[in-house]
Structure 1
Amino acid sequence: MGRPKKVIIITDGDEYAKKTMDYLSQQLGGTCLAYLSDNPTHASEKQVTEAIMAAPEEPVYVLIDDAGAPGPGAGEKILLGLAKNENIQIMGAIAVAAHTKNAEWTRFTLAIDQDGQLTSNGISKEGIPIPEIGRINGDTIYSLDQVDIPVVVAIGDIGKMQGKDDIKKGSPITRKAIEIILERGGYQ
């Protein structure tokens, strides 16, 4: 096999995330596997891996979602499997905040608030900075800390954030997160 396929993980799989990521992949380039995403994720690791390998354009955007399931859910198990695959390079992840009851959290490289400002504070689901520094709460993010991912960008709920990430506005917060991952990952 040639060089590994470059992948960006998105820890959200609802309808807003699917539409936003389909739209942004058309704007920024790459292949979005939104058709395999769900809330929660139902696709198998094998299905996701085969779709990544067949993707015509990189980066490949993989949406995973555990829908609030405690502990490592289906989406996180896919992430752990992809991280071990030598034919796949996870170049970054967008860690999406949630009102999690399970107190699952992860560290991140940087966060973007609902106004597009970079911050070291965690972010709420609405995209508002919280007092916690360097940590974000969510329901599909626990396994991010167990994997070597060069850039993890924390944001609020994709396509929402009190309307500030609406697709009609070009989903500027999610777009900025992807651009940061591409830039820091040296992707052309």
Structure 2
Amino acid sequence: MKKRKVILVTDGDQHVQRALEWLAKQLGGRCISQSQGNPSRLTGKQLVDFILQTPYDPVFVMFDDSGIIGEGAGEQALRYVATHKQIDVLGAIAVASDTNNQEWTKVHVCIDYDGNFTMYGVDKEGICEWEVGRINGDTVYCLDELSIPIVVGIGDIGKMRRRDDIRNGCPITRKAIEYILERSRRDENRKLHTDFSEVE
């Protein structure tokens, strides 16, 4: 059974949709436009159905709790998609928001609004914060509980003081996606090499 390769994105407003649709065309992926919503409108099962209909991957899928504290519709859908047997989660883009530290997740790395990788968390403007390896957001709480190979934290997609504007090519979001894809290819090559060594 062929699995669909998916990147989870924890935001779902129209700026995010436009950015991901544009980047999908640039990077040879697909964006599930129907996953746009603030908050998320589709269930995890509905999203999986759309994902499995895509002709190729990687597939970008949006999830949004719209500021609801706790596990809202977006996180419930995210959990369903991330644990589905036909979905191969390559990574997640954890998008920062103003939650007053009520909801946060660990991240492997963040990208600030200048496009620099950093071990510190970033806020919604993409500015580095003081906490190492964590980011505040409203649709990120369940990420720690899921087996996601790489979680990249960034500020507001398509915004960040216009640094991620679609007219500039959404460079921050693009960098996050490319990093996840690069790490995924590296892990896949390592696994193939390990499997080959075991056969020998």
Larger helix fraction of residues = 2
Between the aligned partners of 2:179 and 2:101, the Cα distance in structure 1 is 29
Between the aligned partners of 2:82 and 2:42, the Cα distance in structure 1 is 17
Deviation at 1:34, TM superposition (A): 2.0
Between the aligned partners of 1:98 and 1:84, the Cα distance in structure 2 is 25
Residue 79 (structure 2) aligns with: 80
Residue 60 (structure 1) aligns with: 59
Residue 167 (structure 1) aligns with: 166
Residue 29 (structure 1) aligns with: 28
Contact 2:45 2:80 in 1 (8 A): no
Between the aligned partners of 2:180 and 2:137, the Cα distance in structure 1 is 20
Residue 8 (structure 2) aligns with: 9
How many residue pairs are counted as aligned between the two chains? 187
Contact 1:112 1:127 in 2 (8 A): yes
Contact 1:102 1:139 in 2 (8 A): no
Contact 1:126 1:161 in 2 (8 A): yes
Amino acid at match of 2:54: A
Q: CA deviation digits over 1:99-145, x for unaligned, max 9?
A: 01461000011000000000000000000000010010000000111
Between the aligned partners of 2:91 and 2:181, the Cα distance in structure 1 is 8
Could you tell me the percent identity over the aligned residues? Answer: 49
More deviation, 64-73/80-89: 80-89
Deviation at 1:67, TM superposition (A): 0.4
Which blocks of at least 5 consecutive residues in structure 1 are unaligned? none
Deviation at 1:97, TM superposition (A): 0.1
Amino acid at match of 1:55: T
Amino acid at match of 2:44: E
Deviation at 1:78, TM superposition (A): 1.0
TM-score by length of 2: 0.91
Determine helix, strand or coil for the equivalent of 2:185. coil
Residue 104 (structure 1) aligns with: 103
Amino acid at match of 1:108: V
Contact 1:80 1:147 in 2 (8 A): yes
Residue 196 (structure 2) aligns with: none
Which blocks of at least 5 consecutive residues in structure 2 are unaligned? 189-200
